[in-house]
Structure 1
Amino acid sequence: MPLESIEEENIIVLPEPNQSTKISISLPKIFYIKNIKTIDDAYKKILELQPLLINLSNLAFTENNKKAWDIIQKLMYYWNYRDILRIERIQDNTPLVEYALRKVILDTQQQTLPNYKLECENSFTPERAVQELSEKALSHRINQHPLLERMTQHGLEMQHIKLFLENYYVNNRMFHLFIVALSLCSPLERRTELANNFYDEMGSGDSRMAHPELFLKNFNNLNRPEVITPLPESLYLVNTKTHAAFLSGDYHYGMGGFGYIELTMPNQMKKILNGLMKSGLPKADLEFWEIHITIDIEHGKRWFSEMLQLIETPEQAKKCLAGGISLLDARATMYDGILQSYDSM
């Protein structure tokens, strides 16, 4: 089936319980799978769709076809969202098809990922490895991204601010779930720090200060959206986080990924806060960013302290590095997508 002939159908993905904002994505009709009653039905559906999805994945990841890549991100987001929120997992055998087709995409994507080298491998110690990981995080392009520089220097128009906040929220509203998911594959002694991080994300016991709720204050003067249609680049960040925290089952990869996020966030948060204020949003609505400037400094220190205890071999350090770079690359890709959308508005 040619790429141009794939029809799309609008799907409204329901929010988490008690959240009023919905996420709207468009899925190809052929991949909108439901009512798979038996295992035999699931097997037939997988065989039917596998060749098309292999072709679509190759176009997206090997040939860098943007339309195919966009479709893949929407599919992965829909399947990941349903999985991590445990939506309709045992009503029928539809999840079997979603799992199998998601694996097709992941297999193709993994084949195109780079192998990351550890410069200290020949003189390895955990301390040297963690120091190198920290240096690589702080030298990543995310730290001087053009979107953040534009925000800091000039501010943004309100329509641009709204686009930024909506796409950021698509990721932020699920971050606490990724922390919980990562604990599932982490050793018992490593779960305490994850629990502390989760407690912070949930407002330290005050649900009104839980970070997904706190983020919504950004919309106080912008009219909170009832429906958000996110950019594929924003969905890519959600998908990358889902893989690191939930699907990979590798706590070195996941801890590296989220450790890199926490280490680099204070710098990003400062620039975003300055940009939002320069754009005209009142400081009273920007508490989310102020809190994270402080709290993520501590989170970053804690995560890398944990890595000193996690890393015993160069191979484990490489997994942390791969997870870290993948999440920073995905966040930078989201910023890229937002900036490109500004230029076309």
Structure 2
Amino acid sequence: MVTYSQEKEHAAPSGGAEEFLTALLDRAYDDGDRTALETVQNRLAALHAKSFEIPQEHTGFKGLGDDLDEALRIEERMLAHEDRFIDLEGFEGAEDGGQEFVRRLKKVVREHPANRHPFYLTYLPEQASVADIAFYLAQESALDPRFDDFIALMQIGMPVGPKLELAANYWDEMGNGAFPRVHTVMFQDALDEVGATPEYIASHQIVEATVCGNLSALFALRRPLIHRAIGSFAVTEFLFPRRCSQLLEAWERNGLSAKGHEYHREHVGVDARHASGFFKNVITPLVDASPAVAGEVYRGALARLNSSQRYLDRILTRLTDGTERGEK
């Protein structure tokens, strides 16, 4: 695959960095160029990674402004693209309070195609091989290893009630203080069990998964989008317990180890509680306090649902048309 740097260097003689990025974004989002989309999303993932890593050497502010400017330009275009698929006119607002808003939002989530997708309903529990599970977990690694950091970031500036809910969620992510039970540690156990090495992940992750990870990162990182983050992560917690149960069926059918499935077994119960807490103790009071934020919560929820549907559609196609088995 041609990298962002290679494309940028090739384009340099005909224009500067800004012109190059504008043209790349036009190809990705106006022309539907999948290669351009992969290039720009991989670049955004690399830029986001810097916000979730400890620097190995002191660099001061060198390059920080350029990186942030580049990331924001990509993010703005990405969000505009996602918003094209969200119909706010068809959704009633928060005029009846946070509790009623949550009831309507849950109905939208339950009725969305991503909620009961055939990849989870039938393919994963009934047909998926160990290789298929490895491919699936490679996609999940775009989001799951940073979930604790996302929750940590979302607590900043929150009112005490919602902050307490998020803090409890975060402490669960941290294994309630037990290192082997930290969710990122358990997720790594699952990756190790099926041989999903960093090299495998890098070569098998599809752009739809990268989009899901980038959306989660930008919602958590950019404070003006905090209410989109709340909507997005509430949906993530809502969807995950059933998905974990269906992964466990595939796991056990393939005779994989109990240690490897602890991450997903844990989330069958804990995420149902987290989802309830998000809706009751975070979204409801925030919307009660400021009904104007309901539209942003809804945008975040729908962006998560829509990106999840695209991701699952692509996974199912790749696994059923022979692509991942080298048949095509």
Range class of TM-score, shorter chain = 0.7 to 0.9
Displacement of 1:339: 2.4
Aligned to 1:279: 254
Aligned to 1:134: 106
Aligned to 1:94: 63
Match of 1:322 among 289, 299, 309: 299
Aligned to 1:36: none
Aligned to 1:159: 131
Displacement of 1:163: 1.1
Aligned to 2:239: 264
Q: Provide the rounded CA distance (Å) in 2 between the counterparts of 1:265 and 1:279.
A: 21
Displacement of 1:224: 5.3
Distance 1:172 1:58, change over 3 A: same
Displacement of 1:61: 1.7
Q: Provide the rounded CA distance (Å) in 1 between the counterparts of 2:190 and 2:162.
A: 34
Q: Tell me the percent identity.
A: 18
Q: Provide the rounded CA distance (Å) in 1 between the counterparts of 2:196 and 2:19.
A: 41
Q: Provide the rounded CA distance (Å) in 2 between the counterparts of 1:339 and 1:202.
A: 32
Over the aligned positions, Cα root-mean-square deviation in angstroms equals 2.5
Match of 1:144 among 94, 100, 116: 116
Q: Provide the rounded CA distance (Å) in 1 between the counterparts of 2:36 and 2:153.
A: 29
Larger deviation, residues 306-315 vs 219-228:
219-228
Match of 2:220 among 214, 232, 245: 245
Structure 1 residue 108 corresponds to structure 2 residue 84: no
- CA offset digits 1:203-241 (Å, max 9, x no partner): 110011111111222245434524221222221111000
Q: Provide the rounded CA distance (Å) in 1 between the counterparts of 2:5 and 2:158.
A: 36
Alignment of 1:1-345 (within 5 A): 8-9=2-3, 27-29=4-6, 48-85=16-53, 87=55, 90-112=59-81, 113-114=83-84, 115-117=86-88, 119-121=91-93, 124-219=96-191, 221-223=193-195, 225-227=197-199, 228-229=201-202, 230-306=205-281, 307-312=283-288, 313-342=290-319, 343=321, 344-345=323-324
Name the one with the larger strand percent: 1
Q: Provide the rounded CA distance (Å) in 1 between the counterparts of 2:153 and 2:58.
A: 17
Distance 1:67 1:152, change over 3 A: closer
CA contact 1:79–1:98 (8 Å) conserved in 2: yes
Would you say how many aligned residue pairs link Structure 1 and Structure 2?
A: 309
| TM-score when normalising by structure 1 | 0.81
- CA offset digits 1:152-180 (Å, max 9, x no partner): 45231222221112222332111111111
Determine helix, strand or coil for the equivalent of 1:141: coil
Name the one with the larger helix percent: 2
